[in-house]
Amino acid sequence: MTDEVPLATAEPFRVPTAPCRPEDESSFPAWEWMPEDLPLLPIDCSSEDTKEHAYGLLRVIDDDGKAGGEWNPKLDPEILKTGLEYMLRLRIFDERMMKLQRTGKLSFYMRSFGEEAIAIAQTMALEQHDWVFPSYRQPGAQFVRGRDMVSMMNHCIGNEMDNVKGRQMPVHYTWKEGHFISISSPVGTQFNQAVGVAMASAYKGDDQVTITWLGDGTSAQGDYHYGLNFASVYKPPVILCIVNNQFAISTHANLATGGPNFASRGLPYGIPSIRVDGNDFLALYSITKWARDRASAGHGATHLEVYTYRAGAHSSSDDPSRYRPKDDHLHWPGGDPIERLKNHMISIGIWSEEKHGELIEKIDSEVVASYKEATSYGDLANGPYPPASTIFTEVYETVPWHVQEQREELGK
């Protein structure tokens, strides 16, 4: 007799690998989904009714820039122009902030490159009083809610005018006035907080809907499933979005689910679940408006997979050329969200390359003016810095003895 465990012969231990590495060619399968594929659904539909929508892909703008299908929201040209302007502003803002990071004026930065349509279209489809529970990849919601760029920059720099006085990492915005809830560094906590706030709205009987986003990688955490379970049981007015941008820093999305996709994971929870093209402004607007109408009419949560590609680095500390082909984002079948809306607007005769160029110039000068103003209040390289005493204030109502002791030790 021996205690030796026999070696299994059937299935070896399976560790998924990324579809391609830096030395490979990009290998995205071509998209077969078309805007006409998926029928519009009644807002009181069941999760079963959304099966096709969970396994398919909801699109409105096709590869030629034409809008079609039953989900076409047929938006007013002014709304399209506003959406395009916000997306361009976010991209230019991000580029400027990266320059500040590279020149030592702020410590860290995260861009939304390639994902600009998501928070912008989705927040535009909501009401101003709805709750926004973002991750660090949805700062664009603040433009929609009217936040001033100087104030956003002050936060990222952590200077004397930072509304959270350096108590958050850069890009971990918080903005009470816009119902934009503080981003927390431990990823995923927002999902449960959002469901809880939506439960409170249902309890109070107010008409506030809550939206929240987390990434594909984060959806491998328990937080995601706890949120879904509570949303399934209590059916609160909440829109739960997984942004599947293919990567969690260097880890490919195929390590975050063993299923066919992310949207379909909501079906067994009994929550209507839909996969939407995350680079299609119109599809995002349409599905979010629909989910809001559902929530507001008392039909409960909607679960969305927002299918996109993180075109840039994870953050200013990351170099994606170490783990994927350098030009991978140029091969993403969903293209670029700004180009897609722009081409659509040109195709319906409300936009032109000339107007586009003029808009970029206008935004560029607004961003430069904002950056000059923000850095005049201090930056990381040159100061002035917020006083050290702010470490100790406005956190506790009653300062605990050990914090008080530390403050006295520091002499502040």
Ligand X SMILES: Cc1ncc(C[n+]2csc(CCOP(=O)(O)OP(=O)(O)O)c2C)c(N)n1
Evaluate the omega torsion of the peptide bond into residue 22 and state whether it is cis, within 30 degrees of 0.
no
**In this complex, which beta carbon is closest to ligand X, that of residue 309 or of residue 351?**
309
**In this complex, which beta carbon is closest to ligand X, that of residue 254 or of residue 404?**
254
The minimum distance between CB 100 and ligand X, in angstroms, equals 21
Contacts 24+ apart (CB under 8 A), 354-357: none
The minimum distance between CB 247 and ligand X, in angstroms, equals 6
**In this complex, which beta carbon is closest to ligand X, that of residue 250 or of residue 376?**
250
Residue 277 sits at the vertex; the CA angle it makes with 50 and 26, to the nearest 5 degrees, is 125
Is 185 a binding residue for ligand X by CB under 6 A? The answer is yes
**In this complex, which beta carbon is closest to ligand X, that of residue 314 or of residue 324?**
314
The minimum distance between CB 275 and ligand X, in angstroms, equals 16
Of 81-89, 126-134, 179-187, 356-364, the segment contacting ligand X by CB under 6 A is 179-187
The minimum distance between CB 313 and ligand X, in angstroms, equals 10
- In order, the DSSP letters of 262-313 are SGGGGGGGT--EEEEETT-HHHHHHHHHHHHHHHHTT---EEEEEE----S-
The minimum distance between CB 135 and ligand X, in angstroms, equals 6
Is 342 a binding residue for ligand X by CB under 6 A? The answer is no
Nearest to 249 by CA among 222, 215, 212: 215
Single out the residue of 215, 237, 325, 334 in contact with ligand X (rule: CB under 6 A): 215
The minimum distance between CB 262 and ligand X, in angstroms, equals 10
**In this complex, which beta carbon is closest to ligand X, that of residue 258 or of residue 349?**
258
Of 63-71, 81-89, 190-198, 245-253, the segment contacting ligand X by CB under 6 A is 245-253
Of 33-41, 65-73, 182-190, 371-379, the segment contacting ligand X by CB under 6 A is 182-190
What lies within 8 Å, CB to CB, of 228 at 6+ separation is 240, 265, 266, 269, 271, 303
**In this complex, which beta carbon is closest to ligand X, that of residue 265 or of residue 289?**
265
> What pairs with residue 210 in β-bridges?
131, 238
Single out the residue of 181, 187, 313, 367 in contact with ligand X (rule: CB under 6 A): 187
Task: Tell me the CB-side half-sphere exposure of residue 192, using CA atoms within 13 A.
Answer: 14
Of 165-173, 239-247, 275-283, 390-398, the segment contacting ligand X by CB under 6 A is 239-247
- In order, the DSSP letters of 106-163 are SS-----TT-HHHHHHHHHTS-TTSEEE--TT-TTHHHHHT--HHHHHHHHHT-TT-T
What residues numbered 248-267 form the site for ligand X, per CB under 6 A? Answer: 248-249
Letter string b/e over residues 263-290, b meaning 16 or more CB atoms within 10 A of that residue's CB: bbbbbebbbbbbbbbbbbbbbbbbbbbb
Per DSSP, the three-state class of 94 is: helix
Of 56-64, 70-78, 180-188, 336-344, the segment contacting ligand X by CB under 6 A is 180-188
Of 168-176, 242-250, 259-267, 390-398, the segment contacting ligand X by CB under 6 A is 242-250
Of 243-251, 282-290, 316-324, 394-402, the segment contacting ligand X by CB under 6 A is 243-251
Single out the residue of 59, 137, 292, 303 in contact with ligand X (rule: CB under 6 A): 137
Of 18-26, 42-50, 71-79, 240-248, the segment contacting ligand X by CB under 6 A is 240-248
Residue 16 to residues 30, 110, 215, 232: CA-CA distances in angstroms? Answer: 21, 27, 18, 30
Single out the residue of 218, 232, 279, 316 in contact with ligand X (rule: CB under 6 A): 218
CA dist., res. 288 & res. 122, Å (int): 6
Per DSSP, the three-state class of 199 is: helix
What residues numbered 287-316 form the site for ligand X, per CB under 6 A? Answer: 310, 314
CA dist., res. 120 & res. 257, Å (int): 27
Is 217 a binding residue for ligand X by CB under 6 A? The answer is yes
Q: How far is CA 370 from the centre of its chain?
A: 24
The minimum distance between CB 223 and ligand X, in angstroms, equals 8
**In this complex, which beta carbon is closest to ligand X, that of residue 309 or of residue 371?**
309
Report whether 183 contacts 174 (CB < 8 A): yes
CA dist., res. 82 & res. 124, Å (int): 9
The minimum distance between CB 98 and ligand X, in angstroms, equals 16
Q: DSSP assignment, residue 35? A: T
Residue 223 to residues 195, 227, 228: CA-CA distances in angstroms? Answer: 11, 6, 9
**In this complex, which beta carbon is closest to ligand X, that of residue 50 or of residue 190?**
190
Return residues touching ligand X (CB under 6 A).
137, 185-187, 214-218, 243, 245, 247-249, 310, 314
